[in-house]
Amino acid sequence: MLTKRIIPCLDIKNGRTVKGVNFVDLRDAGDPVELAAKYAQTGADELVFLDISATEEKRKTLADLVLRVAKEINIPFTVGGGISSVEDVDILLKNGADKVSINSSAVKNPQLINDLAAKFGSQCVVVAIDAKQIDGTWKVHLVGGKVPTEINLFDWAKEVEQRGAGEILFTSMDHDGTKGGFANAALAKMSELVNIPVIASGGAGEMQHFSDTFVSGKADAALAASVFHFHEIDIPQLKLKLQQDNIPVRI
């Protein structure tokens, strides 16, 4: 059985790590390179860096950050934010990123998923999906959750797999930053619909939430930010708990 992965997420704004609740009310969480090194040393399986206010200017900054991070860590890391072309991805991978995450650009230009998978391989392509429930239906949102669409979460998940995505990073906007647990019913449904790994994001508040999302949510990996950044959950202790719950993890 494949081991379940624990993935700290570093949201980057103006070169700093930040964290909010329901995608707003951001506060500083430290230097991203220092945090990355710490997580790599304390048992994180992978890292995700998301430039949450990416523009052409900031993406150049992000490429520089990737280079600095790659020199400091020895675990895989994914980079996202403002990526809209094969050229953007080429720069980030050459600077040391292992994977890229695309979100709004994939919805606006679904062919981008095909193009990236063809050029770099599906294993490099993570499609991030931000969604919230509207009148009982999960709808995809764009631009850091600010722009609602009529796209159904599960239809989109199936499409991105068909187009060549290697993984899906699903963030429940309803759960993000609330620390009330992951959106396990939606995660389980998604995991049954697709054959690629699904990363759970949004809602981690205590160690039990990770066990729950691996068992009830059928997630392949769990991503969290503030509980790790602000030392509310220790990754080595979390992995020991998961092991006690008979969930396979890399110790």
pLDDT tens for each residue of 97-145: 999 999 999 999 999 999 999 999 999 999 999 999 999 999 999 977 7
Distances (CA, A) of 141 to 50, 105, 198: 16, 12, 18
At 55 the pLDDT is 60
At 138 the pLDDT is 97
For the chain, which residues make up each domain, given as ranges? Answer: 5-244
pTM score, two decimals? 0.93
Q: Is 11 assigned a catalytic role?
A: yes
Contact 175, 202 (CB under 8 A): yes
63-105 pLDDT, tens digit each: 899 999 999 999 999 999 889 999 999 999 999 999 999 999 9
Question: Is a pLDDT exceeding 70 seen at residue 187?
Answer: yes
Q: Which CATH superfamily is domain 5-244 in?
A: Aldolase class I (3.20.20.70)
Burial (CB < 10 A; 0-12, 13-18, 19+), residue 26, is middle
CA–CA gap between residue 46 and residue 40 (Å, rounded): 8
Highest mean pLDDT among 29-33, 73-77, 143-147, 228-232: 73-77
Catalytic residue among 45, 130, 176, 212: 130
Q: Is 64 assigned a catalytic role?
A: no
Distances (CA, A) of 149 to 25, 79, 142, 153, 225: 23, 24, 7, 10, 26
Helix (H) or strand (E) holding 93: helix 86-94
